[in-house]
Amino acid sequence: MSESIVRLPAWSKKFEPPAPYKIVHGGRGEGAKSETVAAVLLLKVAKHPRARVVCGREFQKSTKESVLATLKAVAERMGLSQQIRMD
């Protein structure tokens, strides 16, 4: 993995252990939650390649807004798209 700087908002600290399940509440457009969650998950999987992650969010009207689309877009920006398998 190439080294890159990822700036995360202060609230993303809730993703640190020990709680195994993380839930982020709030409406759309309030602090880039989906992209922050995607970045945190991708960094964890890049560090621990055998990790498995289940990620979900409210029903969206199109695949353009899906969790997988968000993960793929963020992975591309972070330079991780070739390193992490998403299916």
More confident residue, 73 or 28: 73
DSSP 12-28: GGGGSSS-S-------T
- Over the stretch 18-57, which tens digit does the pLDDT of each residue have? 667 777 777 666 667 788 888 888 888 888 888 887 777 6
Maximum Cα–Cα distance across the chain = 35
pLDDT higher than threshold 50 for residue 1: no
- Over the stretch 58-71, which tens digit does the pLDDT of each residue have? 766 766 667 888 88
In terms of Cβ atoms closer than 10 Å to its own Cβ (0-12, 13-18, 19+), residue 71 is buried
